[in-house]
Amino acid sequence: MEYRRLGQTGLEISTIGLGTNNFGGRIDFEATKKVLHQTMEEGINFLDCANTYGAGKSEEFIGQVLGKEHRHEMIIATKVGAGAMGGPPPGPNQKGATRHHIMTEVEKSLKRLDTDYIDLYYMHRWDADTPIEETMRALDDLVHSGKVRYIGCSNYTAWQMVEAFWTAKSQNLYNYCCVQPEYSLVIRDVEKELVPAAEKYGMSLIPFFPLASGFLTGKYTQGEEPPEGTRFAGSPNMGNKYFNDDNWSLLGKLQSFAGERGHSVSELAFAWLLGSPVVPSVIAGATKPEQVTANAQAAGWQLSSEEMAEIREML
């Protein structure tokens, strides 16, 4: 496993990170335990979580599996700000980027994770109703207190990220070291503004949904219903986002490109993202140990500059 620096920090994270949205939802504690043990076995040290994943069960399961024995081996990222997932709509002050909500939720996350610090704390979403200085000061206080070590943002646009960056810089506050958007071979909106902004400000970009929620795994066939048990079978609206003629055409080209080199499109998806200078790690979920192994092995394929150029032509 290769490790790269996170933004302008000295922290090293594995090029493949484990997304834990499935924990406590699609898989139970015993299955989660197997996935996490395989994650450590593969040398993956970067876990991506949120206070809302599995309605809190994801953080809880991670805390139970790692305990004090393995906590120091892992870099745990979790998020705040999205409110309650899978439950009733959150009430007043139960979501967003206010000091009140951040300070309340960090204590809950620390307790569930069974730890006294969070390595990387993300704002899950931009909050238009809260002054960004309030948010950045609250996060700065958490870093000074030792409860949080680094901070980042998720689902921010380029202007939102830059607004937060300059607010923190002007007030001499701890700043975001990374941004986490959806980014893959078929969803590339971030290349227009967010990628250049991350490069300009020395921030890492950490993609989620690198396999386009499974579209790039080869599980799906054009004109056929999604197989039972797959993500799109349970969420048809999500499938509509990816199932279009342009994407099916691109998938065929990518399959030929990867197949000629003895690789799968899944491996190509990881290798292409990791070919970007602003991407230190790619977040991928798993429900089985063998999926963790496959994701870890995918990081071993390094595309040449000529291959990157060829893919860019396809895109």
CATH number reported for the structural domain that contains residue 88 in this entry: 3.20.20.100
For residue 33 the two structure tokens come to 């335990």
pLDDT-based confidence at residue 300 (cuts at 50, 70, 90): confident
What number of CA atoms fall less than 13 Å from residue 137's CA on the CB side? 10
Q: Are 251 and 245 in contact (CB under 8 A)?
A: no
The tally of domains found in the chain comes to 1
Structure confidence at residue 279 (pLDDT): 98
Would residue 47 count as lying in a domain? yes
Would residue 298 count as lying in a domain? yes
For the stretch 108-162, pLDDT in tens is 999 999 999 999 999 999 999 999 999 999 999 999 999 999 999 999 999 999 9
Catalytic residue among 3, 53, 156, 174: 53
For the stretch 71-119, pLDDT in tens is 999 999 999 998 755 456 777 888 899 999 999 999 999 999 999 999 9
Read off the DSSP letter of residue 11: -
Would residue 191 count as lying in a domain? yes
Higher pLDDT, 90 or 58: 58
Would residue 187 count as lying in a domain? yes
Residue 3 designated active-site: no
Determine the structural domain holding residue 22 and report its residue range: 3-221+266-303
Q: At a CB cut-off of 8 Å and minimum separation 6, what does 162 contact?
A: 197, 201
Would residue 258 count as lying in a domain? no
pLDDT of residue 237 exceeding 70, the answer is: no
pLDDT of residue 193 exceeding 90, the answer is: yes
Would residue 134 count as lying in a domain? yes
Neighbours of 91 (CB within 10 A): 9
Would residue 237 count as lying in a domain? no
Q: What is the pTM of this model?
A: 0.92
Would residue 226 count as lying in a domain? no
